[in-house]
Chain A
Amino acid sequence: AQTVTQSQPEMSVQEAETVTLSCTYDTSESNYYLFWYKQPPSRQMILVIRQEAYKQQNATENRFSVNFQKAAKSFSLKISDSQLGDTAMYFCAFGRTGRRALTFGSGTRLQVQP
């Protein structure tokens, strides 16, 4: 079974600064996907970024980028130029190929301070 660990229950960052959220996972699979989801107070799950395990290049989406270390089974999210709207719960998730559900980490609550 896969496990996803987020060791930072809460984090705080000043507006315009950079913050990194950590995520580690454990799996015996070779092909898989990793995701970061954002859950704002509305509780709608919003996909922030995804990474295919077979790709060596780290994914980037505007201010969001990941540091994917496959051998270390680490998948951290870096948010640059933090904005007040980034305040939310962030979940790291693991997904296997095929009709499989996602396995979520426990989440990191990020507060962006003005």
Chain B
Amino acid sequence: GAVVSQHPSWVICKSGTSVKIECRSLDFQATTMFWYRQFPKQSLMLMATSNEGSKATYEQGVEKDKFLINHASLTLSTLTVTSAHPEDSSFYICSARDRGVGDEQFFGPGTRLTVL
């Protein structure tokens, strides 16, 4: 099956710094990628939809200036958490749609962000 990778798998940073998370589709081209956030023991909440070559679409309540998303190629989307604060600590998951395969989404393994 299609594989999506995320890097790093976990990161610890100091408050005020920026952190970049990469999401890659390894064996397929993804015209659309999605970024989700998951708090402990909770469900996945969509943050934004990332389309290759265009600006990301953010969900209501998600600060686009804090969570910068770039989808520069058909295999890579990045999420940059700018000026991170402890409340940004969470589990971030990306998923990608294979443009050649229906509507199935393939999920990355997630990135655990801890902001001290």
Contacts and interface: CB of A to CB of B under 8 A. Distances in A.
Contact of B91 (A43, A98, A106): A43
Interface residues of B, number: 22
Contacts of B104: 47, 50
Interface residues of A, number: 22
Given A33-B103, A99-B49, A101-B49, A45 B43 contact: no
Interface stretch (B21-29, B61-69, B81-89, B105-113): B105-113
A33 B95 CA distance: 16
A107 B43 contact: yes
The DSSP consensus for interface residues of chain A is loop
Contacts, number: 51
Contacts of A99: 31-32, 49, 51, 97
Given A95-B103, A97-B103, A99-B31, A43 B46 contact: no
Interface of A: 33, 37, 42-45, 47, 50, 91, 95-107
26 contacts: A33-B103, A37-B107, A43-B38, A43-B91, A43-B93, A43-B110, A44-B109, A44-B110, A45-B93, A45-B107, A47-B104, A91-B44, A95-B103, A95-B105, A96-B103, A98-B103, A100-B103, A101-B46, A101-B49, A102-B34, A102-B44, A102-B95, A104-B43, A104-B45, A106-B42, A107-B42
